[in-house]
Amino acid sequence: MKILLQWLKEYVDSGVAPEKLAADLTLAGMAMEGLSETEAGPLLELEITTNRPDLMSHYGVAREVSALYAKPLKPIEPQPVEVADLAAGAAKVEIEAPDLCHRYAALVLCNLKVQPSPEWLRKRLEACGIASINNIVDVTNYVLLELGHPTHAFDLDTLAEKRIVVRAAKAGEKITTLDGVARTLKPHHLVIADAKRPVALAGILGGAAMEISLRTKNVLLESAWFEPVTTRRAAKDLGLRTEASARFERGLDVEAPVRAARRCAELFLELAGGELLSGVIDVYPRRWDVPEITLRQGEILRTLGEALPAALVERLLAALGFVAARADQDSWRVATPSWRRDVSREIDLIEELARHYGYDKFPARLPPARQPVVLRPHAQAEAALRRALEAQGFDEAVCFTPVHPKDAEKFLAPGEELARLRNPISEETSVLRPSGLLSLVETLAWNVNRGQRHLRLYEIGKAYAVREGRFQERRVLTLALTGLLREKSVHEDEQPADFFALKGAVEAALQPFALPPFGFRPCDLACFQSGERATVEAGSQRLGVLGRLSSTLATDFKLRQAAFLAELDLEGLYAARLLAPEYRPVPRFPGVTRDFSLLLDLPVSFGSVRRTIESLGLPELVAVAAVDRFRGGALPADKYSLLVRVTFQSHERTLTDEEIRSASGRIVRALEKELGAKLRA
């Protein structure tokens, strides 16, 4: 709301400098957005909250100023001179939709002279951002800015039968509004019609055909009250926010129309001559009942934490237009002014008092603690995950979840559909991502294409999909690796990211959780490259997927280097207990290692070697490790060599050579028998 300080001063003199006034109004709920100099003097721009349409005027703000500084507010009592002829004889008003139009008041003025407005009026309107048109339209806008109530002047002679009918629009009915746009109406739109056709969109904008022109002599001045939600819906439908609709949709003062109309008439007679017919045509089918609210000192104290002196309560309420009468020692019966439809409850009054007493005057006290703090149920699990991943050099990413459907489809699991948005901002953000993998692939590409080629990223977020008509939102942890894990330096050789680096990160992420033994199994997920993709499973539970990004997707996302990604299901992980450390006695006797150089058929995995050794149940067996792996050279094409290191250790004694020899022999025989392994020299 633009407020001219000189104009404001006509109703109240704050007695303070503009900067101080702006700061005080800000504290009282009218936030200063700007203070500037205009041709009509200093202009204060205030942000008015949606509950306070009464502040969308100079007089409304003046009332607040008067209450803030305890300064008198000058009343506005328009006294236009009337001629003997009755307005009721010159025009008729009917309201067919009283629920949507609670009141319609009209004045009739004759023999006006339409002409440019005087300079003082033009300057004020223009400073407030409203273009000057002619003296009649300008006066209605002036009164809008002064009192906050919209009025509308019709050229009376253009109204068929000089009749106003307030009614719902008929489906398909058309009107060309003042802005020259032809609009088709719907039955939930409220119109002002004459005997034949709509002449205005109620509370929004007038029709072009009834516009005040230089030929206009006689005017019907409308000052009405339209229902907020109807006005708001119509304005939204028609994409037409006006000064009038912005006020009606917030709930205006139903007692204001006559005063606003008379104020207009006063200015019409002054600036356009003519005569005002006597009487107001005032159709008022839905009267406003003045709400009476009980205000208790006890409730003020209970809400605000401080008791306010009774005299102060009474002064502030009176200054704001409330009528408070003592009910007893500690309470009042308060009648609400008609312009404060936002105030209907005791708490509303308490807010008024707090606002004008000053929020800054209340002391600050810490709330007492009442119960132990509970972190999120999975807070510890998440912290353990983050520690594990950050220790491995993974940087955290936070990614947008609305994504492009064409990308999202590539990561959609079988049996799932994308969750689509009805009103997306753009096609690129029109579905919710079905997987965190998509987001990290995009993030890798963003970085690699900006020269950041060695990346380790993790993200904790959600994935969304529809399965059999059911919407699912699940927490996921996504990992991504690309480029070098380690760049070459004087100390170390470079180490490229590969599948096993990813597998190690997945294992590290799972390590804090008490899960059944988990394993990695081949899978056929299309987003990963065949031969380097797996699911990770614990018993029958699938914990996640991992693999090398397929070359097709890498090309699609313009990622020109190998990338390794995993997605783990956090709902599953968070359901598991966190492992607590467990004490075991530290071995007192030395361990012994034996290396076995094996020649194996290609399909035989290290895992089966280890299982075969472990299934022997050797009590002293401590570890089985793969130390070296070799293919090609002199070896047959379907074979490879594997160097396996086995560690033996006893808690009771030092193992003898004989015991180690015997155990080694059993291992070799089992590997030969079960897996067809050959011991190499």
Partner 1 sequence: MTDILQKLPFKITQLGIQSPEEVENIFAELRAAFDRELGEKHDIEGLEGIRIRWRGRKGLDRLLRDNWLKPESKFKPAVGKAYNDFKDYVESSLALRLQHLRAQEESREMAAEGVDLTLPGLAARRGARHLVTQTLEEICDIFARIGFSVVEGPEVETDYYNFEALNIPQHHPARDTMDTLYLDLPARALPEEIRGPRSDPNQFLLLRTHTSPVQIRTMEKQKPPVRVVVPGKVYRRDNPDATHSFMFHQVEGLAVDRDLTFCEFKGAMEYFLREFFGPETKTRFAASYFPFTEPSADLAATCGVCQGSGCSVCKHTGWIELFGAGMVDPAVYGFVDYEPGELSGFAFGMGVERFAMIKYGVDDLQLFFQNDVRFLQQFRR
| Nearer Cβ to partner 1 (19/119) | 19
The angle, 0 to 180 degrees and rounded to 10, between the axes of the packed helices 58-69 and 18-27 is 90
Calpha distance 512→510 (Å, rounded): 6
Q: Residue 561 interacts with partner 1 (CB under 8 A)? A: no
> In this chain, which of 12, 397, 592, 604 binds partner 1, going by CB under 8 A?
397
CB of 155 to partner 1, least distance (A): 33
Strand-strand pairing, 198-201 and 190-193: antiparallel
Q: Which two tokens stand for residue 413?
A: 């699991």
The answer to the question of residue 443 lying near partner 1 (CB under 8 A) is: yes
For 459, residues 6+ apart whose C-beta sits below 8 A from its C-beta are 396, 397, 398, 399, 436, 439, 440, 443, 477, 478
DSSP letter for 514, please.
-
422 makes contact with partner 1 (CB under 8 A): yes
Q: Which of 74, 174, 287, 345 binds partner 1 (CB under 8 A)?
A: 345
Closer residue to partner 1, CB minimum distance, 113 or 233: 233
Q: Which stretch binds partner 1 (CB under 8 A): 441-449, 521-529, 585-593, 662-670?
A: 441-449
The answer to whether 340 contacts partner 1 (rule: CB under 8 A) is: no
Q: Shortest distance, CB of residue 438 to partner 1, whole angstroms?
A: 13
Q: Which stretch binds partner 1 (CB under 8 A): 50-58, 211-219, 525-533, 583-591?
A: 50-58
Tell me which stretch binds partner 1 (CB under 8 A): 193-201, 323-331, 341-349, 618-626. Answer: 341-349
Per-position x/- string for 293-322, each x denoting binding to partner 1 as judged by CB under 8 A, each - no binding: --------xxxxxx----------------
C-beta closer to partner 1: residue 276 or 389: 389
**Maximum CA extent, the chain:** 133
Helical H segments across 28-115, by residue range:
58-69
We find the least distance from the C-beta atom of residue 366 to partner 1, in angstroms, to be: 4
The DSSP H or E segment spanning 390 is helix 379-391
Q: Which is nearer to partner 1, 83 or 229 (CB)?
A: 229
Q: Facing residues of 4 across strands?
A: 43
Cβ distance to partner 1 smaller for residue 371 or 540: 371
Q: Which is nearer to partner 1, 142 or 339 (CB)?
A: 339
Residues 582-641 that bind partner 1 (CB under 8 A): none
Region 448-467 residues binding partner 1, contact defined as CB under 8 A:
450, 452, 455-458, 461-462, 464, 466
Please identify which residue in 5, 27, 97, 254 interacts with partner 1, judged by CB under 8 A: 27
Token pair, residue 169, equals: 């629009």
Pick 401 or 541: Cβ nearer partner 1:
401
415 token code pair: 């049996």
Where does residue 53 fall: left (phi above 0), alpha (psi -120 to 50 degrees), or beta otherwise? Answer: alpha
Please name the residues in contact with 225: beta carbons below 8 A apart, sequence gap of 6 or more: 101, 102, 103, 104, 248, 252, 253, 254, 256, 257
Rounded CA-CA distance 418/431 in Å is 7
Subset of residues 377 to 396 that bind partner 1, contact rule: CB under 8 A: 379, 386, 389-396
Which position among 471, 500, 589, 630 is part of the footprint of partner 1 (CB under 8 A)?
471
Strands (E), 39-158: 41-47, 82-86, 92-95, 101-110, 152-155
CA distance 35 to 43: 6
| Nearest alpha-carbon partner for 321 in 57, 62, 14 | 62
- What DSSP character marks residue 587? P
* CA nearest neighbour of 350 among 291, 303, 293: 303
Asked if 310 and 297 count as a contact pair (C-beta separation under 8 A), the reply is yes
Contact letters for partner 1, residues 191-230 (x by CB under 8 A): --------------------------------------x-
Among the listed ranges 6-14, 84-92, 420-428, 596-604, the one in contact with partner 1 (CB under 8 A) is 420-428
CB of 376 to partner 1, least distance (A): 5
| Full 3-state SS string of 232-280 | HHHHHHCCCCCHHHHHHCCCCCCCCHHHHHHHHHHHHHHHHCCEEEECC
Least distance from partner 1 to the Cβ atom of residue 163, Å: 31
| Measured distance CA(2)–CA(4) in Å, rounded | 7
Report the side by side order of strands in the sheet with 92-95.
92-95, 163-168, 190-193, 198-201, 205-206
Which residue matches tokens 């009474």? Answer: 314
Among 447, 482, 529, 612, binds partner 1 (CB under 8 A): 447
Residue of 233, 542, 594, 678 that binds partner 1 (CB under 8 A): 233
Give yes or no for a contact between 166 and 96, defined as CB atoms under 8 angstroms apart: yes
Q: Tell whether residue 490 is a contact of partner 1 (CB under 8 A).
A: yes
Task: Indicate whether 39 belongs to the interface with partner 1 (CB under 8 A).
Answer: no
- From the list 345-353, 541-549, 554-562, 623-631, the region that binds partner 1 by CB under 8 A is 345-353
Stretch of 177-185, 278-286, 356-364, 550-558 contacting partner 1, by CB under 8 A:
356-364
Q: Judged by CB, which is closer to partner 1: 21, or 219?
A: 21
Does residue 420 bind partner 1 (CB under 8 A)? yes
Instruction: Look up residue 22 and give its two tokens.
Output: 């702006």
Q: Which is nearer to partner 1, 365 or 521 (CB)?
A: 365
Question: From the list 311, 374, 514, 580, which residue makes contact with partner 1 (rule: CB under 8 A)?
Answer: 374
Closest CB 393 distance from partner 1, rounded Å? 4
Which residues ranging from 141 to 170 are in contact with partner 1 (CB under 8 A)? none
Q: Is 237 in the site for partner 1 (CB under 8 A)?
A: no
Smallest gap, in angstroms, from Cβ of residue 253 to partner 1?
17
Type of residue numbered 82: E
CA 635, 636, 640, 644 dihedral sign is: negative
Three-state DSSP class for residue 621: strand
Minimum distance from residue 417 beta carbon to partner 1 (Å): 10
Nearer to partner 1, 444 or 554 (CB): 444
